[in-house]
Amino acid sequence: MQSSFNKAGVKEDVDISVDLGGLKLKNPVVVASGTFGYGLEYEDFLDISAIGAVIVKGTTLEPRSGNPSPRIAETPAGMLNAIGLENPGVDVFLKEYLPRLRDKGVTVIVNIAGNTVEEYARMAAKIEGNEGVAAIELNISCPNVKKGGLQFGTHPDTVKEVVEAVKKETSLPVLPKLSPNVTDVVEIAKAAQAGGADALSMINTLLGMAIDIKKKKPVLANIFGGLSGPAIKPVALRMIYQVYKEVDLPILGGGGIMSSEDAVEFILAGASAVSIGTGNFVNPRLALEVVEGIRNYLQEENIRSVRELTGMAVIK
């Protein structure tokens, strides 16, 4: 392994750029969909163009008003959300938000969700050719209305089908975002690869619920919600480790990352880059602090490039 100290014993800079199946990032830290708005809301706190990429909030073909309230609940070491993809729709995103992000030099990943395979494909076609989009992330934790509401991401056949349909419409790197609410995540990852995925994003939230004992009712109006935050970190690490061993695709890993030490764990487990979600609510500057923490770790460990770190803890 090369040293990151030069002959005079002075620390040399380390290389923290990464390539996720054609998606080139200046550093390996992105902010997760739905936890950072369109990025523009955070401009008072940090230079948003310094983040590896901003994954914008879940975008749909038509505008959605989301689920009724309450749609957020705090839990020990995490939170539940059932926002229900509130967003103004893909056309408004492309017309009003994308140009502003482009002007600021932000690397933008668009997270898309649909009711049918055709909707995903139509959105990919609309996004294609718009300057300023670096990649598409597919939220496949959505009900497939043509298959009785079964989530796309829980069945290998529908995962392959939706990835294939999107790939036909775009030349951008496509990252399906895997749901942890499955028995065998490796099988799902292989289906995404068979559909032509360029990289994998994992994991989305774990299905959960909370109950108000005074009202004797579920806390969330939607009853169930997605669990995120530190509580899910061990599950995310385990799934990334499993997929890294079995599937030859770069992984964007996340789930409960609250520090650069957490991020390094994800990279050692097989992630090429990491995403920060719930942590943004605790500390809006976390993504950039994690970038600095990773850089310091590499220097301390005499590792010249973050790419060397990926999968180092995986036992063959």
Ligand X SMILES: Cc1cc2nc3c(=O)[nH]c(=O)nc-3n(C[C@H](O)[C@H](O)[C@H](O)COP(=O)(O)O)c2cc1C
153 is in an annotated binding site: no
Write down the number of H helices and E strands in the chain: 10, 16
Could you tell me how many residues of this chain bind ligand X (CB under 6 A)? 26
59 carries a ligand binding annotation: no
Would you say 29 or 79 has its CB closer to ligand X?
79
User: Of residues 193, 204, 222, 260, which one binds ligand X by CB under 6 A?
Assistant: 204
228 dihedral zone (left: phi>0; alpha: psi -120 to 50; beta): beta
Among 185, 278, 287, 297, binds ligand X (CB under 6 A): 278
Q: Of 254 and 293, which CB lies nearer to ligand X in the complex structure?
A: 254
Other C-beta atoms lying within 10 Å of the C-beta of residue 17: 13
User: Choosing from 56, 142, 258, 286, which is the catalytic residue?
Assistant: 142
Tell me how many degrees the CA angle 224-136-131 measures, rounded to the nearest 5.
135
Between the CA of residue 307 and those of 6, 240, 310, what are the distances in Å?
Answer: 20, 16, 6
Is there a binding annotation on residue 256?
yes
57 marked as part of a ligand binding site: yes
32: contact with ligand X by CB under 6 A: yes
Write phi, then psi, for 31 (nearest 5 degrees): -100, 140
Is 142 a known active-site residue?
Answer: yes
Stretch that binds ligand X, among 10-18, 26-34, 101-109, 164-172 (CB under 6 A): 26-34
Q: What residues form DSSP beta bridges with 200?
A: 251
Residue 100 neighbours by CB distance under 10 Å: 14
Residue 146 CA to residue 30 CA, distance in Å, equals 33
**Which residues are known to be catalytic?**
142
Q: Which residues bind ligand X (CB under 6 A)?
A: 32-35, 57-58, 79, 81, 83, 85, 111, 139, 177, 204-205, 228-229, 232, 254-257, 276-279
Binding region: 33, 57-58, 81-85, 111, 139, 177, 203-205, 229, 255-256, 277-278
